[in-house]
Structure 1
Amino acid sequence: MSKTIFITGASRGFGKLWAEAFLKRGDKVVATARNLETLNDLVIEYGDSILPIQLDVNNREACFEAIKTAKQHFGTIDVLINNAGYGLFGAIEETSEQEARAQIETNVFGLLWITQAVIPVMRAQGHGHIIQISSILGLVTLPVLGLYNASKFAVEGLSETLATEVKGFGINVTLIEPNGFATDWAGASATHTQGMPEYDGVKAAFQAGLTEDSFGVPEATSAAVIKLVDTANPPLRLFLGKVGLPFVKQVYAQRLASWEEWQDVANAAHGK
């Protein structure tokens, strides 16, 4: 049976790839973008199966209106994929107030507004699946992506909590955590701080650590996302790509070792 999928940030990258994959198999897709012209090819090919909606997720009122429009048009919203977001590259010291606020506004609050808007629809239906596009950088960090790391850590905490709150309504929550993929996330979609020479060495080391094998093939993710949407009991977290799990296991082993080393101090701080 076909589903109705609501996807934010569908103008390019994962959002557009997945929108087309769902349309190809006969699902209905609500695709949001700031520039609707980027969706013209999908509209021409799939006609009434796609509902394009112009949306800036930073506008909370517009997010609620978009969900309302989608519900009225297709009658249901089975799956929400919160994909809108971007990367801010630059050292933390370099980051301006405007850059920091804009990063959190889009990646955290934009996701929150759409999530809040869709919950009443899914609760009334008695079913739904909210898929939040996080990152392995919501679990571990890399230098010169501090504000992006922070935004995805926030998405992780918000969504893990959400899962416990809405499970009883028949709503599932999944965090998708991709490693790097060869989309334009680090290109046209990204923003960069004004560089300081003090961080040239850090940035050079970061770039030197990247290899061709670090980045997955974006088109290969569609089958995984379709399988996720179709499973009856979806996981809370799903890595995309082969880099994420080894990286996270290495970092978490180091964290556990550090916590164990300081456990006597932690116990003493309990006071009884």
Structure 2
Amino acid sequence: MRTTTAASGRVWFITGAGRGLGLAFTRAALDNGDRVVAATRTVAPLEGLAAEHEDRLLVLPLDVTDRAAVHATVDRATERFGRLDVVVNNAGIMSMGMIEEFTEAEARAQMETNFFGALWVSQAVLPCLRAQGSGHIVQISSIGALGGFPTTGLYSASKFALEGMSEALAMEAARFGVKVTIVEPGGYWTDLYTSMTATTPIPGYAPLRAELEKQWAEGSVDSDPRLAAEAVLTLVGSDEPPLRLLLGGTAYDLAFDVSRRRMETWARWEEVSRAAEHAIPAPPAR
């Protein structure tokens, strides 16, 4: 891994910047001497920081699910600072519940923010980044994208979708000098947990919920968001950033465990898999 010292004045565009990891990323970028466009639904938490960094911090209200608003906000950002160097798609929500319990509205809300919000931002910033021939899009995914788990299935689904889109985006943007990295954090002490919503429980899942609550009560491995911000600073300072970056030992270990189990399963079913493929000429047109 090779890294370079970031030049002062690099411009960041960070969504969900008013809280949690987004706020930590904003503070870290400012402390690094960079400029930041902090896009957030609630601007009040950033008012003090904006007063301290009036010339380097632009706080803009934004609901990332509003595609037109996303494009307008990106336009305001480029008008103010002239360019974008690091785009961090961090805005996200979590709704917990068993798959059967989700209403259509609850399921769509999860996807609208975590997937479509990041898609709209990525689309909006690409004309600027392509014209520059540079830039780095950082997609904040989750340990939940490593696999689906009870009660976090829709959250994982939104992050799986984000990662599938981002893999394609990385290949499409590379020819223009634009880099894309998917960041998969483990647990951090943010208000994601306190602001998350929950489905209406179906009684039949009560025993499974009790088992999960017992597991969760065994202890926390959540960390200070500043550690994630330090890692992202290292990431965007790299000459050769990875497509994926795991944050935290828990995420790292889980990624290897999940990958091993998948490979073992694929190997056991190799004969069936290979038997399902045998090239034949194209069928005649009907």
TM-score tier (shorter): over 0.9
2:226 and 2:133 mapped to 1: Cα distance?
32
Matched residue, 2:192: 185
**Of the candidates 203, 209, 218, which is equivalent to residue 197 of structure 1?**
203
Cα drift, residue 213 of structure 1: 4.3
- The amino acid that maps onto 2:203 is P
1:76 and 1:31 mapped to 2: Cα distance?
14
Cα drift, residue 46 of structure 1: 1.2
Unaligned 5+ residue runs, structure 2?
1-6, 280-286
1:212 and 1:12 mapped to 2: Cα distance?
24
Tell me whether 164-173 or 253-262 shows the greater mean CA deviation: 253-262
Matched residue, 2:283: none
What is the aligned length? Answer: 271
> CA contact under 8 A between 2:185 and 2:228: conserved in structure 1?
no
Tell me whether 109-118 or 30-39 shows the greater mean CA deviation: 30-39
The equivalences for 1:13-52 within 5 A come to 13-52=20-59
> CA contact under 8 A between 2:92 and 2:113: conserved in structure 1?
yes
The equivalences for 1:40-189 within 5 A come to 40-188=47-195
Cα drift, residue 204 of structure 1: 2.4
Coordinate RMSD, CA, aligned? 1.2
1:244 and 1:208 mapped to 2: Cα distance?
21
> Normalized against structure 1, the TM-score is what?
0.96
Greater relative contact order (CA < 8 Å, ≥ 6 in sequence)? 2
2:174 and 2:32 mapped to 1: Cα distance?
28
2:171 and 2:34 mapped to 1: Cα distance?
28
Aligned to 2:23, the other structure's residue is in SS state helix
**Of the candidates 9, 28, 41, which is equivalent to residue 16 of structure 2?**
9
Unaligned 5+ residue runs, structure 1?
none
Residue 214, structure 1, aligned to residue 214, structure 2: no
- The amino acid that maps onto 1:169 is F
Identity of aligned residues (%): 44
1:175 and 1:99 mapped to 2: Cα distance?
25
